Every structure is written in C-alpha cells, then in structure tokens.
Chains A and B, each alone.
Chain A
Amino acid sequence: MKTIANNLRLFWQGTMLSYIALFAWLRPTTYIASKILMPLAQILFFTFLGSYASGGSNVDFYVIGNAIQITAVSGIFGVTMSIGGDRWAGTLPYLFGTPANRLMMFFGRAFMHIIDGALGVVIALMWGALLFGVDFSQTNMSALGLTILVTTISTCGLGLLMGCLSLITANVMFVNNTVYFLLLIFSGANVALDTLPNWMQAFSQILPLTRGIASARILIAGGSFSQVAPMLMSEIGIGLIYGWLGYMLFKWFELQAKRKGTLETV
C-alpha cells in the first residue's frame, strides 16, 4: 500500500515538475499565441486549402482532421520537452541515481500533456463550430470526448518514444518538427487515406491519430459509439505500444549510460 502511495506521489511530482518547468518561462500571451492562435492559423490554412480543392463542399473533413491533429502539439513537442528537459538541465544523473520507480517517473511526464492536448482539441473544435459552422447537433458528445482522450493518450505514447529518442540524438527539434508535419499527411487529417498510394496507407495504419481522426469524423456526422469502438481500441493499443517502446528505450538508455559512464556527457 505504501509503495502505491509512493509511486502515485512520484507520478504526480513528475507531472507537476515537468509541466511547471516547461511553462515557467511562458507569459499568458505566449500561451495564447502557441496554444490558441497557432492551432487556429493551422486549421484555417489547411481548411482553406482543402476547400479550394473541393470547391468548399467538404469543410468539415478538414476542420475536424486538423482540430484532432492539434493534440500532437502537446503530445509530441510537449512530452519531448518534458523528457529532454532533464538532459539539458543536467538532472539526469541524479534521477538515475534514485531508487524511484522508473515507470511512474516516465509516464508522469506525459500526464499533464494529455490534459493540455485534449483541451487544445476542444478549443480547436470550438473554432470549427464558430468559424466554419461545424454542426455538433447529431453528435454523441461523451463518445466524442472519449475519442479525444484516447487519441491524445495514443499521441502522447508516440511523444514518449520521441522524447527518449531525443536523449540520444542531437537534433531533437528537427526530428519532432518532421514527425509533426509528416503526421499532417499520414494521419488523414488533410487527405482522404483511400486516395493515397498503398504503401502510404499501410504506414498510416501503424500511426496514432489516424483512427482517432476517422472516429471523430464519424461521430460528429452522427455515427454511434459502437461504430467507432473497435477503432478506438486499436488507437489506444497503438499508443500504448509506442509508450512501451519508449519506456524500454528509456531503460536501455539508463543501462547504457551507467555501463559506459556517459551520464555526465549526455
């Protein structure tokens, strides 16, 4: 019982610390710029581009796709920063020197970004309703809420893996930016997946976001929860696999660093 309490505390501390450390330098205006206006601008750009292509008949497709995609801002950039932050601050050797449960320490860093990411999607969908008249009247709201949560968790899973990669590569931002932009193609946020070449479709299927975006489109159009449930199961499964891979990499990294004595230089 005591262990559980200890681990929960560790999880919570990791969560708070990583979030505070990340946003300590932010002013309210910066938060508004990066969390509200930047997503809005991205949604507007791709929605206009999409409606230019389709003659304006398919606005919902782009608004919903890009709104869900916004979760990757927190899921990839946020989570990576939380994990990579220790490397820059030089605190990694101290963490590895503690007996703390690595699993709790590791997943604690993603928790706040799940909330932040889900909130980002809700804001983005509200822009969609406000500016493009996306209609939620036929939508099962609790199912949509679950979809947002599941998609955010699975994207954070990928973020955890990226974050661990950031411990071993020098060009963290380059990799993150590239992954974020590649998701714009492969998640189906902007292109109907069945129009892509086969190999691209296959790749889409092993990424987070893909099924979450598809589910959200179905639900907002009035679909039922049972229609999307299998997709959501796969979505969270994919996210957990990525998170687990990240955790393995994290453990491996710790082992290597201890074995080779490279902790100081990481």
Chain B
Amino acid sequence: MNFKNLFVYWRTVLTVAEITLRHQWNDSFILFAILVQPMIIAVLALFMLRGLGGDYAMFVVVGSGLTGLWSSLLFISGNSINAERWQGTLESLVAIPTPFEVIIFGKNLANVVQSLISMTSSYLLAALLFGYTLKMVEPLLFLGSVLLSVFAFISFGLVIAPLFIMYRGIQQWQNAMEFPVYILAGFLFPIALLPNWTTPISYILPPYWAARALHETSTGAGDVQKVILAWGLMLIFSVIDLFIASKLFKVMLYKARVDATLETE
C-alpha cells in the first residue's frame, strides 16, 4: 500500500473501521474467535503451566491473547475480501474513488483492534477467576509494543487477504494455518523447544516479533535493546508487507476485471 494514502484517507479509514465494528459486533463466529477460544486456551494454559511458577500467569494472559489476535487475523481479516464478495458489496467497493486497499486497511484495523479483547478477557479471567495478582513490568513499553503489533498484524493481513482471493489453493490450508503460527511464533512456549530448522521460519513471521515484544515488556524478561530490536523488525516487516500488498492488490483487481470474479453468481 502506498503510505501516502494512509494520510490522505485517514478519515475514510476511521469510518470504515467504525462501520465494520458496528456491522459485525454480534457475529457469533467473531465472538468465538476473539473471546471463547482464547479464553479456553488461557484456562488450559493456566492449568498446564501452573508448575512453572513466577510470573507465568502474565505470560499466559499475553500468549492466549495473541492466539486470539492471530486466529482473528487469519479467519476474519483473511476473509475480508471474500466476505464482501459473498455479500455482493465487492463491486460497490471497487468502482469508487477510494483505493480498495485503504478500505481493507480500515476493515483490518477494526478487526485487529477488536481482537485485543482476547488479551483483556484473558487478563480478567486470570485475575478474577483464578485470583492471580498480575503485574505489568513495563507498561509504557508494553503499550508501544501493542501499537506496533496492531500495525504489523494489519499489514500482514493485507498480504493474506488478496492471496486467499487469488489462489484458492492457499485458502484450502487456512484451517491448517491456525495452530502452526501459535507454535512458531512462540505465543505460549519459547521456540527454543522447537527443532532448530524452524527458527528461520519464526523469524520471518511478524507475529513472532509481536509475541517477543509483548512477552518481554509484560514479564520484564527482556531488556530495552531486545524490545527495540523486536519493534524495529515489526516496522520493517510492516513496510515490506504494505509494499507487497500494494502490488498484490493491483494485480488482484486487474485480474478480477479480466476474469469477471468480482461477484458470485
């Protein structure tokens, strides 16, 4: 995506995000993805990791929250273009002056921000139901990490959605992509447990760097330099993702006008 567009169209992005939230606030699938599933994972992890001691509860809160972020990105943002097609609104969104990727950016913004509920609900669960005293070690750095993670997730989503549209072969693997990222991004256990050959895969996943930044700032496991490294990499990946997305959207829209696939019959 062209960065300039974000500044030119900031008001449109916000309206799109607002309307998206209102449109899907009582969608049961979203409720499951951002609330029920992460909460059950949090309960499981709280029971399973109990033996670790220390600040493991905070680790679980952040980790299970991240699973909600990823599942929501994969299934909701990943399907954001397809959903418009099924509704028959895709044509009205393409043949207008606002660049299409700006609209999807707004939709992803809504989805990613909304999926932060996962972390909040896990926090309440651990604090109220399980009675843990949860301490945020670096609140300001944590907040910064949240903001950068949101941006990184949105950008990543802008790459996934057009890929799912253009190559149905990739979308078939959608269900099988949920847990591997939980594993490779180290949401709830360190990737050191994994075989060495998977490490490079983790390094190129923006959710991995988001998990690192969020875990390190919440539990205080990492020093500032490590956090800044994670921030920097999230930024770099976001820029790369937005660049790739701008190319993908161009190709996708042209291809759709050639193949007549903007609407479903």
Contact = CB atoms under 8 A, between A and B. Distances in A.
> Per the CB under 8 Å rule, do A and B touch in the complex?
yes
A206 interface: no
B40 A37 contact: no
A197 to B, nearest CB: 10
B222 interface: no
B29 interface: yes
Task: Say what secondary structure dominates the interface of chain B.
Answer: helix
Interface residues of B, number: 33
Interface in A163-191: 171, 173-174, 177-178, 181-182, 184-185, 190-191
Contacts of B194: 48
Of A27, A37, A53, A184, chain B has the most CB atoms within 10 Å of the CB of A53
Contacts of B189: 48-49, 52
B97 interface: no
> Is the interface on chain A under 10, 10 to 19, 20 to 34, or 35 or more residues?
20 to 34
B253 interface: no
Interface stretch (B9-17, B42-50, B80-88, B152-160): B42-50
A191 B44 CA distance: 7
A6 interface: no
A256 interface: no
B56 to A, nearest CB: 9
Given A33-B175, A174-B31, A174-B32, A50 B193 contact: no
B44 A48 contact: no
Contact of A190 (B48, B169, B173, B175): B48
Interface of B: 28-29, 31-32, 36-37, 40-41, 43-45, 47-52, 169, 172-176, 178-180, 182-183, 188-190, 193-194
Interface of A: 27, 29-30, 33-34, 37-38, 41-42, 44-46, 48-54, 56, 171, 173-174, 177-178, 181-182, 184-185, 190-191, 195-196
Given A38-B176, A49-B49, 20 more contacts: A33-B172, A33-B175, A33-B176, A34-B175, A34-B176, A38-B179, A48-B183, A48-B189, A49-B44, A49-B48, A49-B188, A53-B51, A56-B193, A173-B28, A181-B37, A182-B40, A184-B40, A185-B44, A190-B48, A196-B47
